[in-house]
Structure 1
Amino acid sequence: MRKHYLALAATAALGITLTACSSNDGDTSTPAEATISHIHGLGIDPADGRLYVATHEGIFTPGVSGAPQRVGDSQDDFMGFTVARAKTFLASGHPGPGSSEPGNRGLIESTDAGKTWKTKSLAGKVDFHALDYVNETIYGYDSTNGLLRVSKDGITWDDRAKLRALDIATSPVDPDVVLATTQEGVAKSTDGGRTFATGTQPVMAFVSWAKPDALYGINPAGALSRSTDGGATWMQSTTIPGGQPQALTAVDAQHLLAATQNGVYESKDGGKTFTKRLNVSSGAAH
């Protein structure tokens, strides 16, 4: 099954529909004319500082000229994606054209910076639309079943709250505090995601929590905000170029990555300014 991508309306409140989803260090280079049509995740490998972009067509990194360069051979539709540690990535999604893999990939892992992938668990059963790795624990939003799952080893999972969400973020210092972006606003859990309070304004599409005082959120129109108190209050800073947001990752308190309809942008000053790192050919949903 292929996914019907969760639509974000930039001119209205966040609408969420949970449905079934349908030559560089040995990397395989794509032609200069290769394009990326939709982005689902962003990360920096701490091993070498390289940017990795999880897309509808596979994993990419900017080449020397800035053109998208494929990492490995996979053309899977990568949905949830996170960098767990140096050269170790976690992801989920759907198989690429011609693949014999199940329609939902469950949790997959790469230990060679995205060149190859192996199934960890839940193949055929789960499509994680959001993944967070904090305190050696994996938090995943299972869009197939509409619930939060938590695992220490990526194999055995603890089912937590049922909810309708687009993105999740876990406190970098308190594993019991988990946030989820919902139609009503940012919902908060203080018991490890077993229960969530009703979402409160503002409505955010994506959130990323780098440090206790550096929680970032981007709303459906692309406006970036920062919270220094765990989401109790927010201060809007700027609007990221390129329209409707597609992904947000706070690498640290000052280093941010954001994907919008026309590209991947990077900030190294806490979101005050952004530089375009990669072009996106279309913001159309898939």
Structure 2
Amino acid sequence: MKPSKYAMHRALRAALAALALIVYGGTAAAQGVTLPDVHGLAYSADGKRLIVAVHDGMAVYSAGRWSKDPAPRHDYMGFTATKKRFYSSGHPARGSGLVNPLGLIVSGDGGRTWEKRGFEGESDFHTLGASYETNAIYVYNPGRNSRMDRPGIYYTLNDGFTWTRAQAQGFESTVHAIAVHPSKPQTVAVAAKEGLYLSANSGERFERLAAAQGLAAFFELDGEHLVYSLYDGAARLYRHSLKSRSRTEIPLPPLPRDAVSHIAQNPAERSEYAIATFERSVFLSKDIGKSWTQIARNGEGR
């Protein structure tokens, strides 16, 4: 596996730009909220808030309006949500007194407070996924640290107390995103430069489901489908049945010079999906992608 740190994300942006994708402008959002970038996308457990992790905290879309969450204004990287927790990495807010990088942090109160789970001052996990029901965590570690002796995909089933390196047979690629099955912690998907990969044995072996460049992945909360985004000269979004192994394409809104970077599902209204793009646009669908409403364009709330 090749390294995947923030420089790799920049390399991905450059590759997309070479394919006429423009990323990360600098427009102010409505109501004083800015989306300078998108580092994560998730719904709150009650489904009432859509949370966008950004460079300076969390932006929230709720009841048709954007606002800034009162959570600490860290630079949240690898942000992901489970049923009862938020997990993240990244860099501390100025004046917080925390060590940089944050390592692995966890919140049990919706992001108001955070606890350390190791690697502070050592690692910044930009690629992180967690199981919605089991809290199993997978990360891509781009280098060595005190508990991971070499780069690779690692996972923990006990909230970060012990870590195991996945053998990742059949996988040799640049990691872009990781998704973990909501109830089967051994099932993990990886979106990567050479395609979309799936493992049913904790990353020991992977099979490739799609050959185009993989950008994002998300397991639906009932555990029956995997939703993932690709770029093959145009933005694509697919829904893969884990049972029948068939896939259907989900129609996207017009995305000229753009692609899907993050995917989320509302746990309270499971036909509702949200996607974010590399140009910092955000869309909602109430009907599993049959139609879309744009709620942010180039970082500007609507």
Which residue pairs with 1:26 in the alignment? none
Q: Which moved more, 1:180-189 or 1:166-175?
A: 166-175
1:1-286 correspondence to structure 2 within 5 Å: 3-4=6-7, 6=9, 7-8=12-13, 9-10=15-16, 32-47=31-46, 49-62=48-61, 66-67=65-66, 69-86=67-84, 88-128=85-125, 129-145=127-143, 146-161=151-166, 164-197=174-207, 200-210=210-220, 211-220=222-231, 221-229=234-242, 232-242=245-255, 243-251=258-266, 254-260=271-277, 261-281=279-299
Distance in 1 between residues matched to 2:244 and 2:80, nearest whole Å: 21
Q: TM-score, normalised by structure 1?
A: 0.79
Change (3 A) 1:196 1:160: farther
CA contact (8 A) 1:36 1:57 kept: no
Distance in 2 between residues matched to 1:245 and 1:31, nearest whole Å: 22
Distance in 2 between residues matched to 1:98 and 1:144, nearest whole Å: 27
Larger helix fraction of residues: 2
Change (3 A) 1:46 1:63: closer
Change (3 A) 1:139 1:275: same
Change (3 A) 1:102 1:181: same
Shift of 1:5: 5.6
Shift of 1:136: 1.2
Partner secondary structure for residue 32 of structure 1 = helix
CA contact (8 A) 1:102 1:124 kept: yes
Q: What RMSD in Å do the two structures reach over aligned CA positions?
A: 3.0
Distance in 2 between residues matched to 1:121 and 1:241, nearest whole Å: 42
Q: Residue type of the partner of 2:78?
A: G
Shift of 1:216: 0.7
Distance in 1 between residues matched to 2:250 and 2:63, nearest whole Å: 31
Change (3 A) 1:248 1:64: closer
Distance in 1 between residues matched to 2:182 and 2:35, nearest whole Å: 31
Change (3 A) 1:92 1:254: same
Which residue pairs with 1:21 in the alignment? none
Shift of 1:101: 2.5
Partner secondary structure for residue 242 of structure 2 = coil
Partner secondary structure for residue 4 of structure 1 = helix
CA contact (8 A) 2:51 2:58 kept: yes
Partner secondary structure for residue 239 of structure 1 = coil
Change (3 A) 1:191 1:107: same
Shift of 1:31: 8.8
Q: 1:26-79 CA distances to partner (integer Å, 9 max, x unpaired)? A: xxxx99333111111111112352211111221111266623x22125221111
